[in-house]
Chain A
């Protein structure tokens, strides 16, 4: 018997490269999900990673940084938040 594959319908799931199993420290939603304001994950709702290596949904963090009490600090470690440059 000879068997050849004609067509293959595969299934894959994509994840953000960073911190696969973790959740955003601000909204507690998985990184693979979206921040509370977005509907679909992906490039519309990307992650942001600080120099301190803490990652958040970008929207969540930006919202945090606009608040008075944030003083521009990372919500996790209270260091000044700067986007990590890879």
Chain B
């Protein structure tokens, strides 16, 4: 410590009054060593201690008057030195002399008075020199006084002065203050005085902090070039120990005010992505600022919390209502991610979750509800789903709650429209699996199947899907239009995994039927029944079990004799192998490969049986001659609907093997048909049986009705099962259980259940007992 003293080399004798005392005290300097020696002696032998101790007391004459005098003169010297220090002037006495003076006073038990005097002197200096003379006038003179600068200046000055004072009174500090429990050290006292008079009491603290806050304000708007002053002020605040009580609170308050204003000014006008970016950068800024000025961690945490509160938490609703939909529409994953992070941090992610769920529902409903867009429904749903998935992954950290909300949204809107989505999904799958759809490879096909299956999962009316899927599958299998067996099987496995074996049992049965038929036909070909040689017709028959396949109505058709022969022989073969069965023909599904010799070349036509039969009629008509609609109708016995479609496909489609008189898109009774002698086409093989693949409105209606019928049977079955176990049951309970048991089939209309209860009562399965109870009748 002593080595830090600036050596002024002032002669002691200049202060006459104090010199004898000081010289006396210098002689005592040896006594300062005495306790040390005493200790050393103590260490070797104990008994000597007493003698030495008594001699020590003898050494100090207990004379009050002397010490009083001595004290006053020494204090005078010290006081004038302090005066110099406090006014930044050089000290006239040598530091060493002053130091010794202090030491001597302490030794004569004057520490207390010396300390009181020093404290008084320091208090006066701060209260008068700093506050009254300099700071207060500055506060009063103008509002714009740079209080931070003034106070920090004073602080710097004060700390420098304190250091000198501390050195001067070092002995007091160490020997007396350190061991006195009620007194602070000189430095601490100096700080405490500064704190008391400048920061806490009086009129300086408030303007100082206000001014400091305005510095921060400047800093936030990046207008503050030099942050050194703030750093010094913060350092002072730390040292004065007014950080938490005074600074922290004020700082948070001003931060809140700042971001409150910022948020209010921008929330309505700024685009939401910019607003979110602004918030993010504000958070970064505050965090950096806390580091730069080494704020306490609580301040950093609280500040960041305040920013989030003002910028986000209080504005959650506005942010969502102003920006959310647009962001999702534009797939702004970055902004959505900010939104997700910020909302989660302020524990408002629920609002975002709700918005996301509602968006899914609302936008999805738009895709589903418009009948004009039915054709592209599935494709657009898939695109919609893919987009939301991307957002989920990129913005919402694959949050389970969010993907649940999305799933719920899908399940909700997709079932808002009865049946149609299920139908469209089935048709989409049909298109995927249908031959001629070769533009995608297996992998692409599989991903699409997966995608569509996810949509399928949301569908409640799975029976509708099944009905349409079955119908489409039947056509693919029977008309040989399936793209690949593997793909079909894959799809079947996926459906099985999804809905269980009972769901796919019929579909599997269909595959089995076609396999059985394949084997069966192989043995037919080798049997004596085969008529391929005589008739020239290579007949292949799919013999199906009715239960698995969609229902096809019987149609009348007159076959040419050689076809009949072929058919007969097959039937004979069939009956020879299977007993107890009979066969009905589904000609509407039959198709043929036909060789036709046109004037302009030979063609191989793949066409429906109806088309074939009609075309065969023209074998007996001379070229150029025509047949009327009625003639064809009599010859084939086809009903009007089928005949019209068939003729239309032959005479009005893309490949026109017949010509029609009069020309036109529609076939009407009385129209005349002739072979199109000018027919030509680049390809040798032509396919003109698309008409068979296409679904007619009647077919569509029929499927829907069938589904409805099946549902009724199922409901009735469920009701009977419940009644059978319960015997008597209340109406409400019956309804509840019925819904429970048919849940996986899809939602039921309450009126449907009631209608079927009614039907069962009519059929005497059950009867009413009282107002709300049913009894089972066995």
Contacts and interface: CB of A to CB of B under 8 A. Distances in A.
Contacts of A7: 537-540, 592-593
Contacts of A3: 594-597, 612, 615-616, 618-619
Interface in B552-602: 552, 562-563, 566-567, 570, 574, 578, 580-587, 589-599
Contact of A17 (B480, B582, B598): B582
A1 B619 contact: yes
Interface in A4-40: 4-18, 20, 28, 30, 32-34, 39-40
B478 interface: yes
A68 interface: no
Given A3-B618, A4-B594, A9-B590, A14 B505 contact: no
Nearest to A46: B580
Interface string B438-481: 00000000000000000000000000000000000000001010
Interface string B492-505: 00000000000001
Contact of B567 (A10, A30, A42): A10
B594 A16 contact: no
A16 B583 CA distance: 9
Interface in B498-555: 505, 509, 512, 536-549, 552
B612 A5 contact: yes
Interface in A43-58: 43, 46-47
Contacts of B543: 12-14
A63 interface: no
Contacts of B619: 1-3
A39 B547 CA distance: 11
B582 A1 contact: no
A2 B597 CA distance: 5
A8 B609 contact: yes
B623 interface: yes
Most A CB within 10 A of own CB, among B544, B581, B586, B596: B581
A10 B580 contact: no
A34 B512 CA distance: 15
Contacts of B604: 6
B595 A4 contact: yes
Nearest to A6: B593
Contacts of A18: 580
A6 B594 contact: yes
Given A3-B619, A14-B578, A15-B581, A9 B591 contact: yes
Most B CB within 10 A of own CB, among A8, A16, A28, A30: A8
Nearest to B713: A28
A36 B549 CA distance: 18
Contacts of B566: 8
Nearest to A86: B580
Contact of B618 (A1, A11, A14): A1
A17 B575 CA distance: 11
A10 B547 contact: no
A43 to B, nearest CB: 7
Contact of B584 (A4, A13, A16): A13
B165 interface: no
Contacts of B425: none
A7 B480 CA distance: 13
Nearest to A18: B580
A14 B549 CA distance: 11
B538 A14 contact: no
Contacts of B598: 1
B675 interface: yes
B544 A14 contact: yes
Contact of A6 (B512, B538, B589): B538
B585 A10 contact: yes
Contact of B586 (A5, A12, A40, A43): A12
B181 to A, nearest CB: 96
Interface in B645-693: 675, 677
A47 to B, nearest CB: 7
B542 A12 contact: yes
B2 to A, nearest CB: 106
B510 to A, nearest CB: 11
B547 A47 contact: no
Interface string B702-722: 000000000000000100000
B523 to A, nearest CB: 16
A2 to B, nearest CB: 5
B578 A13 contact: no
Interface string A61-84: 000000000000000000000000
Contacts of A39: 505, 509
Contacts of A14: 543-546, 574, 578, 581-584
Contact of B541 (A10, A32, A40, A43): A10
A1 B592 contact: no
Contact of B542 (A10, A32, A42): A10
A41 B547 contact: yes
Contacts of B552: 13
A8 B544 contact: no
Contacts of B542: 9-12
B740 to A, nearest CB: 21
A41 B512 CA distance: 11
Given A10-B542, A11-B541, A14-B545, A5 B584 contact: no
A8 B578 CA distance: 22
Nearest to B588: A11
A18 B313 CA distance: 76
Given A39-B505, A43-B578, A11 B536 contact: no
Contacts of B591: 8-9
Contact of B563 (A8, A17, A30): A8
A65 to B, nearest CB: 19
A17 to B, nearest CB: 5
Contacts of B597: 1-3
13 contacts: A1-B596, A2-B596, A4-B596, A5-B562, A6-B593, A7-B592, A8-B539, A11-B542, A11-B590, A12-B541, A13-B549, A14-B578, A42-B545
Leading 7 A-B pairs by shortest Cβ distance: A33-B547, A11-B589, A7-B593, A32-B546, A11-B586, A7-B538, A6-B593
Interface of B: 478, 480, 505, 509, 512, 536-549, 552, 562-563, 566-567, 570, 574, 578, 580-587, 589-599, 604, 609, 612, 615-616, 618-619, 623, 675, 677, 717
Given A1-B596, A16-B581, A41-B545, 8 more contacts: A6-B595, A8-B609, A10-B587, A11-B542, A11-B590, A12-B584, A14-B583, A33-B547
